[in-house]
Amino acid sequence: MNASQVLVFLPLLIYGIAIAALFSQWKRFINYKNIYIPYALFTILLTEIALYNVYLFSQLAGEINVMDYKSYLIYILPPFSFLIAVNIFTPEKDDDTETYFKENMSVFFILIAFFVATHFFFNYEESSVMFFARMIIIIWLLLTGILKRIWMVYVFVAIWFLLLLSRLSLIGA
């Protein structure tokens, strides 16, 4: 392993831990007593976002060789903030999914807004539409966390789905 591969390992490991935590929540889809649609949708959404961010980090891997320590700490901030948000998002085995989700909405959505904001630290090879989309997403996430309205979760999932289609080039962006 060269130096850049070693330095990239930590953020990817952090994302991997978050992805494992999210995949463990997919079992809630099978037990009808634990199904809560907003939580299920967000589990799918967060899993895709984690996978997309692993892909985004692969674009930054070449820059890591010329990074100073302060820049490296900033480089680790997105996966670290994502892992914290996922840990807040995921209830314990015996917790009621709906109750847990509603009780932790504020902290979770504010942390996810922070995670999205950390993407402004980097220059990803994305369309300029993503810059404005991130701004709108941050505002929407903060409002969702503050107001705790479930309908706002559904709107966010719809926005995410459209952005996913855009990233997959299934719709124009």
| Domain edges within the chain | 3-167
Q: Which among 56, 69, 42 is positioned nearest to 12, based on CA atoms?
A: 56
Is pLDDT of 112 > 50? Answer: yes
Give the 3-state secondary structure of 69-114: HHHHHHHHHHHHHHHHHHHHHCCCCCCCHHHHHHHCHHHHHHHHHH
pTM, two decimals, is 0.86
Per residue in 21-78, pLDDT tens?
999 888 877 877 778 899 999 999 999 999 988 887 777 766 666 678 888 888 889 9
Do 81 and 115 touch, CB atoms closer than 8 A? yes
CA 64 to chain centre: 22
